[in-house]
Amino acid sequence: MKLTNLKTLGKIAITGLIASVLPMSVNAKDTVKVGVVSFLTGPAAGPFGTPAKQGAEIVIDAINSGTMPAPYNTKGFAGATMNPIFSDESGGGTKQVGLFRDFVQKQNVDAMIGYISSGNCMAIGPVADEVKMLTIFSTCGTERLYEEKLRSHVFRTQGNAVGDSLAAAKYIADEYFKGKVSTADKMYTGINQNYAWGQDSYKFFKLGMAQYMPSAVGSSKPQFPKLFSGQYGSEISALSLDKAKIVHTSFWNGDFEAFMLQALVRGFFQKKILVSSVGGSGVDSLDKKFPDGVIMGTRGNVGLIVRNDTTPLNKWFIESYKKRYGAYPLGPSYQYARAVMLYKIGMDKAAKAAGKFPTQDQVIAAMKGISFESFADTIEMKRGDGHQAVHSIAYGVTKYNKAKGEPGIEKVIKYSATCIYPPAGAISQKWVESGMPGRKCN
Amino acid sequence: MQFLITVLLDGLIYASYLFIVSLGLTITFGVMKILNVAHGGFFAWGAYLASISIIYLGDNEYNSFLYYFAIFLSAIIVGLFFGYIIERFILRKMYNEDIHLIVLATFGLFWILEDLILHVFGVDPLMPYYPAMELGGIEVGGIFQGVYSLTLAGLAIIVAFICWYFLKKTKYGKVLQSVIFDREVSVSMGINVTKVYLITFIIGGMLGALGGAYIAPTISVSPGFAIDVVVMSFAVVVIGGMGSVPGALIGSLIVGLVRAFAVHQAPILELFIIYAIMAIVLIIKPEGLFAPPKPRKI
């Protein structure tokens, strides 16, 4: 064989080798590395961060092994196994922004999932866009995230807190105020933590009450104790002396449980009706001690509200969670699982459209405006230019289930997204104040 | 009338809680001149140890009396164990260092104690509600008050009395006052100041732990819950005068009553008003209302 032929053969062989290897590196990936951030230390770890992490773990493992029910029953994320790196959310916005940059620039993650604190979401949102990192917020509730600015690389699978407060007000107007005529019965007050979440929750509850029940009167002395203050003796006395019968709270974590304990021994619930937008974890913690008759929401169709929902996905999630962790999944468990599910749906859809392993831009395009099946409802990414989820919100009344020997809920009403969230492009506060034009309630 | 009785009771309950927690802090400062930020760690450990004990006793339906035994035993164990280790092996080596360094060291110790809690007890909140639930509520001035919370006032009175008796009527109390007044003079008089420091730190730790242990049945005991307690205790101690036991008592009463009044009349000012009082006291009397007199050194 001539030397030139050998050279030609060699070129063909090398070209063939490159051709066989190159598509693999571009078109397929064995693993995707994803940062999953939740509170693993501090007061929010027990009721929020740890259940959130556990919910994500269940779904990630099931998707990696292809054992999750349909429509998530294909193996992997566009075929790739997710390698999650769990990280602690505590320490405040500045620390979290630093950690986020570290994840992106040093650990070269493919996506970021999680975040419970609205403060952290507000701090990280702009940075995610700046460094062009696909980020799916799972839990934080501030409406400002998309109302102040649209986000190119940030998605949120949890509806904002406006819907929680408006649904609470609607539930009271629909269920409680029916036929009530006395002044005290029409009065309401609140006890909310003195920071953005607590202040905003009560503000929108009040705005909602003005719309759904114009004759209702808000107390002049709603309580705003410091976050994590733990001692509510004076507040409970003040609420007890207040004529208002309805008491709204967006307390969460240990604050909610401490308030419940201290109020319980003082006979508070015999005279007042508590409306809690996010106290689901406290129901399990207090178990049979938790009073019946508390109006309870869980920020969507998650946690306690859907405990008896028998959709295959929900049934599987509850059974898997109980088997692995020995407890019912809480709201944050569902919320983190949902964020992982959006990533899965987005990756698979983008890979199918591209015919190869998708780029980040293709995944973002696939996720934009998508609707996907959650555990007991459908999540629609229909706000914030297709980046912000809306979904129905349910409220019910706590009632201990003696037959099962566990906390339960009854009189559940689901409010559709069109009833409690402003239309795309609208600013929540202005929309509510102007009479919620275009709202459609079921 | 109902309003006044309620504000007074709310204020007294909160003041009792603050007094028990801040007493240990002020005694430690008075004797050792150390602002012990790790005091919050004692509070948290007391709460956790009492919580697991009470939950165990309650779940297994032991005699209710044992809850209170568990509370006091937890405080003693935590104070003895951590108090001895911290004073003997860390602080004792730092007494000649700059005071700011010692504060930083106690700050670090606070976070170490907090972190240890995560490793030992995990992140799930504990709810040792048995004693509070069993005692229930009682109607006072037209509204229900938790009986367990009312017992806090009784505990505070007992602790204040023991403290007064100990300082004024016992030999060791006089030794302690001598060290508070001047360490060097005390040494020259043959007082074993090293031993006094160790015992004081342990007692201070026990009082901090007692605050946490006693309050545990009314709250959700979860990681990080002690941070605010330390900050509030500092406010009390600063108002009353650092190192002064009567100061801690009066400071607690001022903060408790003013806060209760604010919660009822202007809830949004609840926190502001406490620190406003602190700021005013610092401007008018920077050493606090009841700061012990300082010896004039030549």
Residue B23 belongs to domain spanning: 2-284
pLDDT at residue A20, rounded to an integer: 46
Nearest by CB to residue A241, choosing from B3, B147, B215, is B3
Whether the pLDDT of residue A442 is over 80: the answer is no
Q: Which of A430, A298, A378, A293 has its CA nearest to residue A71?
A: A378
The answer to whether position B296 is within a domain reads no
pLDDT at residue A320, rounded to an integer: 98
Q: Which domains does chain A have, with CATH numbers?
A: 26-159+309-390 (3.40.50.2300), 162-298+392-433 (3.40.50.2300)
Confidence band (pLDDT; 50, 70, 90) for B191? very high
The answer to whether position B293 is within a domain reads no
pLDDT at residue A23, rounded to an integer: 40
From chain A, the residues in CB contact with B271 under 8 A are 194, 226
C-beta atoms of A261 and B129 within 8 A: yes
The answer to whether position B289 is within a domain reads no
- Quick one: angle between helices A50-65 and A312-325, nearest 10? 110
pLDDT at residue A25, rounded to an integer: 41
Quickly list DSSP for B228-290: HHHHHHHHHHHHH-TT-HHHHHHHHHHHHHHHHHHHHH-GGGHHHHHHHHHHHHHHH-TT-TT
How far does B233 lie from chain A, in Å, by closest CA? Answer: 13
Quickly list DSSP for A129-188: HHTT--EEE-S---THHHHS---SSEEE-S--HHHHHHHHHHHIIIIISTT--STGGGEE
The answer to whether position B89 is within a domain reads yes
Whether the pLDDT of residue A4 is over 60: the answer is no
Q: Which residue of A has its CA nearest to B135?
A: A265
* pLDDT tens for each residue of A247-304: 999 998 789 999 999 999 999 999 999 999 999 888 988 899 999 999 999 999 999 9
A231 touches chain B (CB under 8 A): yes
Distances A300 to A38, A160, A205, A234, B105 between C-alpha atoms, Å: 19, 10, 16, 32, 46
The answer to whether position B292 is within a domain reads no
Whole-model pTM?
Answer: 0.88
How far does A62 lie from chain B, in Å, by closest CA? Answer: 25
Whether the pLDDT of residue A95 is over 80: the answer is yes
**CATH code, domain carrying B151:** 1.10.3470
ipTM score of complex? 0.89
Calculate mean pLDDT across residues B135-142: 91
Beta carbon pairs, A and B, within 8 Å: 151
Work out how many domains chain B is built from and give that number: 1
The answer to whether position B130 is within a domain reads yes
The answer to whether position B291 is within a domain reads no
